[in-house]
Chains A and B, each alone.
Chain A
Amino acid sequence: MSDVANDLLIEVKNLEVRFPIRLKKLFRTELQELRAVDGVSFDIRRGETVGLVGESGSGKTTVGRAILRAIDPTAGEVTFHCCDRDVDLAELEGESLREFRKNMNMVFSEGSHSLATMTSDMLRAFRPRMNLVFQDPYSSLNPRMTVRDIIAEPLIASGMMKSRAKIDERVREIAARCKLNLEHLRRFPHAFSGGQRQRICIARALVTRPDFVVCDESVSALDVSIQAEIVNLLKDLQDEMGVAFLFIAHDLSVVAQMSHRVAVMYVGKFVEYAPTASLFFHPRHPYTHALLSAVPHADPDAAFDPIRLVGEIPNPLDVPSGCRFHTRCPFAVEACRRETPEWREIAADHFVSCHRADELDFSRPAGTASRAETPVKAQG
């Protein structure tokens, strides 16, 4: 797990996703653009887990879906380094896009989509080569299909395997890897507990041997103990199969266990992207620092003094000028209001977008619950 092969799997460059929004005014309709993702660049290596955190509405899910082309990106490039050639995902269309999806899979969160729209629109549009695994393992499994049929569906739909015997063999293999009881393959989902259902979802996502799986809030709905099991399972499967994960979650402590590198997102942009230890112990962006300070410790004596961010997360229809975080940032200076900070590599592999990243140091000592003293107060 520790030695991640250094070759690139996915490269995302200036990814933008905009949604047209119709605002009904008295006598006219105003068209506005919601920039859900506004210029995001990062890469994912083979067999690596990249964690993606941020508050709800920051665009995490949209990034995951845009990479898989479940949503069409408005601009930007997503390059997938396949076995023999590089494919620009943003250019793919029709049959070749479908062909390509065999290599990727997605573990979806429920998000704002109801199950109904998900099945009718998205499933039909993308054909069953995409496996959908929702955050809620209760609503994402068809109650009328047996577990075997659920796991086999991506194989059949993608046409990877035709013979029943081969499909059965593959399903049993992946089910065993996901620690499902093979006796249970004939049962229906209602007979399973939350943790077991999530294992079924994972088996379904991995049955086509994808290179890349998006896990969107896949463990958020589970109890701590089951959550721990699923996190361990995902790590084991990654070791065995070399699959890369984009692990989207709002729970930072789970992300800390799962990921090799972590990206922090705020209103459609990345603010920081760094190796896990670097990000959690030496965050450079005030927003990352604020997020970390808000995680409650299971230690009644640990200082719990979350940094109060003033105001609400900005409306993506009306993004603040300059640095997007300046309206809530305790360290904002005049430059933050005017100029957009550039996305720069401040230390090896540590990217940040903050004007003051060089002067601010939020490091906290490793292995202790205490947090660093708040640095220079510069109330703006």
Chain B
Amino acid sequence: MPDQRPGPSPYGAALRLLMEPAPNTAVTAVAKPPTATAPARATRPDTRRAPAETMLKVENLSISFRTDEGLITPVQGVGFEVQAGRTLGLVGESGSGKSVTTKALMKLLPGNAAIAPETRMHYTTKAGAEVRIDTLKPGSRAARQLRGGEIGMIFQEPMASFSPVYTIGNQMMEAIRLHKAVGRKDARAIAIEMLDRVGISNPSGRIDQYPHDLSGGMRQRAMIALALSAGPRLLIADEPTTALDVTIQAQVLELMRELQRDLGMGMIFITHDLGVIAQIADEIAVMYLGTIVERGPTREVIRDPKHPYTQGLLRAIPSLDHLQDRLTPVPGDIPSPTERPKGCPFHTRCAQALVGTCDRKPPEEVFPSRGHGVRCWLHDGNGRSVA
């Protein structure tokens, strides 16, 4: 557990650190503040077996937007952790607040958004300094260093996130030079190396091509190379494979797993495809209407889902083993964030909802087993099923 820095201005030291050239192989732990933990990437250990070091800890994240229809709160009291070298899968339907949550981490929320004061987002940088993301100003130097340099992001639509008027290499070199004190030549070499790393053939030729010259799968690889070129410690992947064919999807998933293993990155993987999640995530957090209703180790959540919503989602996925089957949708529609139900947000669609309980008070998180948390009135304080 990373300890909390007591001072009111936690990012003075962090800022200094962040402004230094990001260490390429990270052996530098020079101006390390005394309270910080050791840098994770010093020796590039097999982080999967090493004791997991928490790099990101989000507590009580609530985000609200001022709109014409009043204040809406698409994210309410979300908490999760990301460990170095491990993947957190964020699952949920559209409108569940997955993307807004990650935008808050990147300080990319629009101007009418406000993060609640009780929110705490602790992030440990490459150099070991601790940053409170919630208190950073979006346009500040520290936030800009964090974005890209510390936390990289891959978007669903690679065509929309590359600029069509610059070559791939141009855009990669821009990112590299923003975060590392290297010249054009070195930046180009790093970019070529990254393209090669993600399995693009003939990287020194491809680097001068424009995004439209590449096929969908290649573009997504280039997107990954771009996100990785600044050497982030945490990678947020927002539906990175949703627009891809299954064969390419399988390749991209394998690539991401491999890169994570080699670089020891932490990863937040957003998707609504539970099949993908089962293959890539170490932990799952299931979101519904801006709340994490269930979280825990992937195997446990998928094998033994506790929340009726998770159970419903798992029943709804079509499988290759049952052909021409009737599917079982979760009944009802997801309510709009402006008319968030009172009590448990899922009670309007829940077949097991307890009248007088579920529609009154939102359930607290209980732990049926270690590390497996659920917010549901059907489980009591000890995590036993009450129904």
CB B136 to nearest CB in A, in angstroms, measures 32
Contact with B along A165-189 (1 / 0, CB 8 A): 0000000000000000000000000
Top-7 shortest CB links A-B: A228-B327, A306-B250, A296-B275, A228-B329, A294-B250, A253-B318, A294-B246
Q: How far is the CB of B296 from chain A (nearest CB, A)?
A: 12
| B247 A291 Cβ-Cβ under 8 A | yes
Query: Across the interface, which residues of B come within 8 angstroms of A293, CB to CB?
Result: 250
Contacts of B328 in A (CB 8 A): 228
7 A-B residue pairs with CB within 8 Å = A223-B93, A225-B330, A228-B329, A257-B327, A296-B278, A306-B247, A313-B215
Check: B302 CB closer than 8 A to any chain A CB.
Answer: yes
**Chain A 297-336 interface residues, beta-carbon cutoff 8 Å to B:** 297-302, 304, 306, 308-309, 312-313
Residues of B within 8 A of A250 (CB): 245-246
Complex Cα distance, B327 from A258, in Å, reads 10
Complex CA–CA separation, A200 to B253 (angstroms)? 35
The distance in angstroms between the C-alpha atoms of A251 and B251, with both chains bound, is 16
Distance between B106 CB and nearest chain A CB, rounded to angstroms: 24
Instruction: List residues of B whose CB falls within 8 A of some A CB.
Output: 93-94, 215-218, 245-251, 253-254, 272-279, 298-299, 302-303, 312-314, 316-330, 333-334
A296 B273 Cβ-Cβ under 8 A: yes
Least distance between B92 CB and chain A CB atoms (Å): 9
Separation in Å of the A203 CB from the closest CB of chain B? 17
Contacts of A253 in B (CB 8 A): 275, 317-320
Shortest distance from the beta carbon of B275 to any chain A beta carbon, whole Å? 4
Distance (Å) between the CB of A368 and the closest chain B CB? 7
Q: Contact at A277–B323, with CB atoms within 8 Å?
A: yes
How far is A297 from B321 in the complex, measured between Cα atoms in Å?
10
Given A56-B245, A291-B247, A295-B246, residue A366 in contact with residue B321 (CB < 8 A): yes
Taking a contact as CB atoms under 8 Å apart, the answer to whether B325 and A368 are in contact is no
Residues of A within 8 A of B (CB): 1, 55-57, 193-196, 223-229, 231-232, 235, 250-254, 256-260, 276-277, 280, 290-302, 304, 306, 308-309, 312-313, 366-369
Chain B residue numbers with a CB within 8 Å of A194 are 94
CA A259 – CA B250 in complex, angstroms? 24
B86: min CB distance to chain A, Å: 14
Chain B CB count within 10 A is highest, among A225, A277, A290, for: A225
CB of A294 within 8 A of CB of B316, answer no
**What is the chain A residue whose CB lies nearest that of B245?**
A55
Chain A residues with Cβ under 8 A from B277's Cβ?
298
Contact, CB under 8 Å: A298 / B272: no
Smallest CB separation, B98 vs chain A (Å) = 11
Residues from chain A with Cβ under 8 Å of B248 in the complex: 55
Picked from A193, A259, A298, A300, the residue with its CB within 8 Å of the CB of B317 is A298
Kindly list 6 other residue pairs between chains A and B, CB separation below 8 angstroms, not including A225-B93, A297-B275, A367-B322: A194-B94, A223-B272, A224-B317, A252-B246, A296-B273, A299-B278
B93 — which chain A residues lie within 8 A by C-beta? 223-226
Residue of A nearest to B277 (CB): A298
Contact B246 A224 (CB under 8 A): no
Known: A231-B327, A297-B275, A367-B321. A195 touches B333 (CB 8 A): yes
A258 proximity list for chain B (CB < 8 A): 324
Q: Is the CB of A298 within 8 A of B278?
A: yes
Contact check, A300 vs B299: say whether CB atoms are below 8 A apart: yes
Residues of chain B lying within 8 A (CB to CB) of residue A309: 247
Q: In the bound complex, how far is the Cα of B321 from the Cα of A292, in angstroms?
A: 11
How many whole Å from A169's CB to the nearest CB in chain B? 27
Minimum C-beta distance from A273 to chain B (A): 16
- Minimum CB–CB distance from B300 to chain A (whole Å) comes to 9
Chain B's closest residue to A366 (CB) is: B321
Given A256-B320, A296-B275, A368-B321, A224-B313 contact (CB < 8 Å): yes
**Is the beta-carbon distance between B275 and A276 smaller than 8 angstroms?**
no
Task: Look across to chain B and name the residue whose beta carbon is closest to the beta carbon of A365.
Answer: B321
Given contacts A296-B273, A300-B278, A304-B279, A257 and B325 within 8 Å (CB-CB): yes
> How many Å lie between the Cα of A276 and that of B318 in the bound state?
14
Residues of A within 8 A of B274 (CB): 224, 298
Q: Which residue of A lies closest to B333 (CB)?
A: A193
A225 in contact with B318 (CB, 8 Å): no
**Which residues does chain A contribute within 8 Å of B246, judged by CB atoms?**
250-252, 291, 294-295
Assembled-state Cα–Cα distance A252/B320 (Å): 8
List, in ascending order, chain A residues with CB within 8 A of B299's CB.
Answer: 300-301
With the chains together, A253 CA to B322 CA distance in Å? 9
Smallest CB–CB gap between A16 and chain B, Å? Answer: 24
Closest-CB distance, B218 to chain A (whole angstroms): 7
B278 & A228 in contact (Cβ 8 Å cutoff):
no
Contact A295 B320 (CB under 8 A): yes
Contact at A290–B329, with CB atoms within 8 Å?
no
Give the residues in chain A near B275, CB-CB below 8 Å: 253, 295-298
**Complex-state Cα separation, A329 to B333, whole angstroms:** 44
A196 and chain B: residue at smallest CB distance? B333
Q: Distance in Å from the Cβ of A14 to the closest Cβ of chain B?
A: 27
Chain A residue contacts of B276, Cβ below 8 A = 296
- Cross-chain contact A312 with B323 (CB below 8 angstroms): no
Q: A225-B316, A250-B245, A312-B215 are in contact. Are A256 and B298 (CB under 8 A)?
A: no
List residues of chain B with CB within 8 A of the CB of A229: 327, 329
Please report the C-alpha to C-alpha distance between residue A291 and residue B248 in the assembled complex, in whole angstroms. Answer: 10
- Cα separation A298 to B286 with both chains bound (whole Å): 14
Q: Which residues of B contact A1 (CB under 8 A)?
A: 324
A235 to B323 Cα, complex, angstroms: 13
Contacts of B94 in A (CB 8 A): 194, 223
Structural contact, B318 and A254, CB atoms closer than 8 A = yes
Return the contact of A257 from the options B324, B330, B334 (Cβ within 8 A): B324
> Which residues from A are CB-within-8-Å of B218?
312
